[in-house]
Amino acid sequence: MCFDADSAPPIADNGKEVACKDLNLTSADGTSFAAFEAVAAGTGPAVVVLPDVRGLYRFYEELAVRFAQAGYDSVAIDYFGRTAGVDKRENDWDYMPHVQQTIAAGVTGDTAAAVAHLRSADPNRPIFTVGFCFGGSNSWLQAGSGHGLAGAIGFYGNPLAQYPQGTPTPIEAASDIACPVLGLMGGDDPSIPPDVIAEFDAALEEAGVSHEIVTYPHAPHSFFDRKQDDYGNESVDAWERVLKFIAANS
């Protein structure tokens, strides 16, 4: 698991009003899945938020709002419409069996539905994916999945992850990536050691992918959390890099 149920993004509410609502989107295979939309202006770049293994919950809904307050319409999606339905879930729900049943085509189809929703008024709208942990790996994988993304951002995604079923690892998929990549990693994250991060960086370099991989030396996995007071500076820097990356690649 990436964040606790009571975690929240370490981004201050700037007071800007945005329109928010729950959505049910439909994937290419006909699956209905839950999503949450936060709308700033309806024009300009937009963001698809890919959650961690818990799926869609409060942290990612609030993050979608923060993106909208920064001027970027956003849709945070859930992965588990095929196995868990579209209803809101309790914080302690048993998510891992559903993670293990996710498939590459499902995540790609769900992402495509969110991209299509955000592009409904403008087919050329720049879209970025932003993911965390399981979603970080998937954000990079979606960069090579035909969505025409403007960029793919991953917080502590594992470059050697093979979830969902049927996917290559992000390292193996580096040559398929068709947009710039930003990676934001914890240097004190035993699940993603420095040699793995270096291997991903080298694979992107070899593939000719424009990329920046940033490692915060003493930060753990899931450092981007309001409860992680010791990593406030890292979180501020990471958020600034995300916004700069979007602006630079739009």
- pTM over 0.85? The answer is yes
pLDDT in tens, 51-96: 999 999 999 999 999 999 999 999 999 999 999 999 999 888 999 9
Nearest to 136 by CA among 192, 62, 202: 192
Tell me the pairing of strands 32-39 and 19-26.
Answer: antiparallel
Q: How many domains does the chain have?
A: 1
Assign residue 234 the CATH number of its domain: 3.40.50.1820
The confidence band for 178, taking pLDDT boundaries of 50, 70 and 90, is very high
Which pLDDT score is estimated for 54? Answer: 94
pLDDT in tens, 164-176: 878 899 999 999 9
Quick one: what percent of the chain has pLDDT higher than 70? 100
Quick one: CA dihedral 219, 220, 224, 228, positive or negative?
Answer: negative
Which pLDDT score is estimated for 132? Answer: 98
Residue 6 belongs to some domain of the structure? no
Average pLDDT for 210-230: 95
Residue 133 belongs to some domain of the structure? yes
Is 90 exceeded by the pLDDT of residue 154? yes
Residue 105 belongs to some domain of the structure? yes
Residue 155 belongs to some domain of the structure? yes
Residues in the chain: 250
Q: Which residue has the higher pLDDT, 128 or 41?
A: 128
Rg (CA), the chain: 16
What is the residue range of 113's domain? 20-249
Is 60 exceeded by the pLDDT of residue 1? no
Least confident range of 42-51, 60-69, 203-212, 239-248: 42-51
Q: Under 8 Å CB-to-CB from 150, ≥6 apart: which residues?
A: 45, 126, 127, 128, 179, 180, 246, 249, 250
Quick one: what percent of the chain has pLDDT higher than 90? 90
Structure token digits, residue 191: 């699940």
Average pLDDT for 9-31: 95
Which pLDDT score is estimated for 213? Answer: 98
Mean pLDDT of the chain: 95
Q: What is the rounded distance in angstroms from the CA atom of residue 196 to the CA atom of residue 133?
A: 14
Distances (CA, A) of 42 to 1, 19, 21: 33, 10, 14
Residue 245 belongs to some domain of the structure? yes
Alpha helices for the chain (secondary structure H): 58-69, 81-84, 96-99, 104-118, 134-142, 194-207, 232-249
The confidence band for 3, taking pLDDT boundaries of 50, 70 and 90, is confident
Residue 202 belongs to some domain of the structure? yes
Residue 13 belongs to some domain of the structure? no
Residue 9 belongs to some domain of the structure? no
Least confident range of 20-29, 82-91, 194-203: 82-91
Residue 176 CB-density burial (10 A; 0-12 exposed, 13-18 middle, 19+ buried): middle
Q: What is the rounded distance in angstroms from the CA atom of residue 159 to the CA atom of residue 247?
A: 25
